[in-house]
Structure formats: C-alpha cells, structure tokens
C-alpha cells in the first residue's frame, strides 16, 4: 500500500456565495478551495429501542483557511457533526469529504493516516499527557507520522516558540497554567501541518482574559499557516473573530452567518435560542 491514501475528488464543483448562503466571499473574486464538504449527512444512534436522529441531513462547505464557529443548544448535534468533519465517526447516510478524500472510502489504516496528518484536535480539558514535557507532548504526533527525531525536535521548538512558550519546552503540564497548557495543546495540534484544526470549546476551562489570548493565537496561527479552524464555542471572543458561524438545531443547520452580519450582544449571543 502506498503511504498516501489516494484522494477521491469531491464530486461537486466549487460554489459561489450566491449558491451557498452564508459563504464567506472570495477574497479577490477567485473560487475558494473547499477543505471539508458534507453532503446530506445523517447520523442515527440506536440504543435498544431508542433511536436518536442526531443529524438530519447536513450540507456544509468549509473553506481552506477559514475560521468557523459551530453554535447550538446542548444535544443539537455539534459533537456529532465534529466527529464527522474530523473523521472520527462515519455518517449513517450521506458523504463527508476531507481535503477531497471520501471518508467512507478509507480503511482503518487510511483513516488513522488522515487523522494524524490532516487534522489537529484541541480539547476543552487540554488532554496533555501528564508525564511528558511540553516538547514531548508536541512531538508525539510527529513520532506517529515517522518524522525524523532531529527534525521533530526543531519543529517542536519552533511551534512552542510560535505559541509563546518556547522557554517552557522542558516543563510538564502539572507545572503550567491552564492557558500555558492550552498553548502546548495548540502546538501539538499543529505538529504535522494539518489542513484542519478542530477545537471543541477550547476556552471553556480558561478565564475570560486567557481565553481571549488563546483565541487571538488561534486566529493568527490560522492566518499565518493557512489552517482551517472549526470550533464549537459559546465564547463571545470567538464569535468576534470567526469568519462564519453555523447555527445547529435538532440535527439541522438552522442558518449560517458571516461575522459581519452577526449582531452580537452580550447575554444574547445565541439569539435566545437556548
């Protein structure tokens, strides 16, 4: 088997914003590159006699380099959608393309390959390995990707510098603040130059000011490295800087808004939808 899963071309042609309401306008009239595409995605969970329609047919295009926030009430399907666009689970119906690869066509080896190299994950609770140093946490995904150890160390140090904690490369998570730990987790997510970073409530365990710093960092890194950031969030700071917000309700996209069209008011960011 070759080292690289062969991409299956996404069947649809790129859309203009007029065909895809809420799409961010192309910067210079150029067609934008789609990095994730979901087509009619449904997810049904069966537990005994209970059947839950967690996603009821989601069509969503996410563009390369875009910063997208996913909002919705508890149980609306945000994590389920995350699992789909992150290649962590497969739909019951419909198709998901990640960087032009049809996720359903991948075997378990190819899926692992994609998750390791194409996607970086950031979690609410940081999820660093406590016995490893910052550097070891960041270079861990590079070990899985068979990166040469010298190169991994150089890249690890470079990433730790980028996220502002280069001098703490030898510290273990227990000796770092929450904000510092999340910086390590961001560096780890970027370890293998992913096309996509998935962040599930990345600021929920941080104070407001630290959360704002983490969001600003994610934004500048996404611009600098051209990485697509997809984040479930309830954080005003995130809504202030994201390119688009997808509002999910009962397993369906309720609406998609561009940031400039958002009317964010303190205390009513979700439009009273909870």
8 Å CB contact between 118 and 36 = no
Residues 90-109 that bind ligand ATP (CB under 6 A): none
Instruction: Label residues 137-148 b or e (16+ Cβ within 10 Å = b).
Output: bbbbbbeeeebe
Q: Is 74 among the residues that bind ligand ATP (CB under 6 A)?
A: yes
Shortest Cβ 112–ligand ATP spacing (Å): 20
> Sign of torsion, CA 138 143 149 150?
negative
- 72 binds ligand ATP, rule: CB under 6 A: yes
Cα 107 from chain centroid (whole Å): 22
CB of 252 to Mg ion, least distance (A): 16
Q: Which of 33, 206, 6 is nearest to 105 (CA)?
A: 6
Q: Measuring CA to CA, how many Å separate 160 from each of 93, 96, 165, 191? A: 40, 32, 5, 10
Q: How far apart are CA 270 and CA 14, in angstroms?
A: 30
The angle at the Cα of 23, spanning 63 to 269, to the nearest 5 degrees, equals 105
Please name the residue ranges forming H helices in 14-133.
78-85, 108-118
Closest residue by Cα to residue 269 from 236, 225, 241, 247: 236
- Residue 155 binding target from ligand ATP, Mg ion, none, CB below 5 to 8 Å by type: none
Window 17-56: residues binding ligand ATP (CB under 6 A)? 45, 47, 52, 54
75 binds ligand ATP (CB under 6 A): yes
Q: Of 121 and 169, which has the nearer Cβ to ligand ATP?
A: 121
- Pick what 74 binds: Mg ion, ligand ATP, none; C-beta below 5 to 8 Å, kind-dependent: ligand ATP
Find the shortest distance in angstroms from Cβ 91 to ligand ATP. 13
Cα distance between residue 187 and residue 176, in whole Å: 15
User: What are the residues binding Mg ion (CB under 5 A)?
Assistant: 78-79
If the CB atoms of residues 64 and 236 are measured against ligand ATP, the closer one turns out to be 236
Taking the least distance from each CB to ligand ATP, the nearer of 7 and 75 is: 75
> Based on CB atoms, which residue is closest to ligand ATP, 90 or 172?
90
Q: Is 78 in the site for ligand ATP (CB under 6 A)?
A: yes
CB nearer ligand ATP, residue 77 or residue 202 = 77
Nearer to ligand ATP, 74 or 265 (CB): 74
Choose among Mg ion, ligand ATP, none what residue 80 binds, the Cβ cut-off being 5 to 8 Å by kind: ligand ATP
Q: How far is the CB of 138 from Mg ion (least distance, A)?
A: 26
CA-CA distance, 71 to 253, in Å (whole number)? 10
Which residues bind to ligand ATP, rule: CB under 6 A? Answer: 45, 47, 52, 54, 72, 74-80
């Amino acid at each position: 088997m070759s080292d690289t899963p062969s991409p299956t071309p996404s069947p649809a042609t790129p859309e203009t914003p007029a065909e895809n309401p809420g799409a961010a306008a192309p910067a210079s009239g150029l067609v934008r590159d789609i990095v994730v595409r979901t087509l009619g995605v449904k997810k049904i969970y069966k537990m005994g006699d209970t059947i839950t329609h967690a996603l009821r047919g989601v069509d969503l295009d996410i563009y390369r380099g875009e910063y997208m926030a996913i909002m919705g009430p508890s149980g609306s399907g945000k994590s389920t959608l995350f699992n789909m666009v992150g290649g962590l689970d497969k739909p019951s119906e419909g198709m998901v393309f990640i960087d032009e690869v049809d996720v359903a066509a991948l075997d378990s080896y190819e899926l692992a390959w994609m998750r390791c190299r194409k996607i970086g994950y950031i979690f609410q609770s940081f999820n660093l390995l406590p016995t490893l140093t910052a550097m070891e946490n960041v270079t861990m995904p590079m070990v899985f990707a068979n990166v040469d150890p010298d190169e991994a160390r150089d890249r690890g140090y470079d990433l730790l510098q980028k996220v502002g904690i280069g001098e703490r490369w030898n510290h273990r998570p227990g000796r770092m603040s929450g904000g510092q730990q999340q910086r390590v987790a961001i560096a780890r997510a970027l370890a293998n130059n992913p096309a996509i970073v998935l962040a599930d409530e990345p600021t929920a365990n941080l104070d407001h000011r630290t959360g704002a710093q983490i969001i600003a960092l994610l934004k500048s890194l996404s611009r600098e490295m051209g990485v697509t950031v997809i984040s479930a969030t309830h954080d005003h700071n995130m809504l202030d800087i994201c390119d688009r917000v997808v509002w999910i309700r009962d397993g369906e996209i309720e609406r998609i808004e561009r940031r400039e069209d958002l009317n964010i008011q303190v205390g009513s960011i979700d439009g009273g939808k909870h």
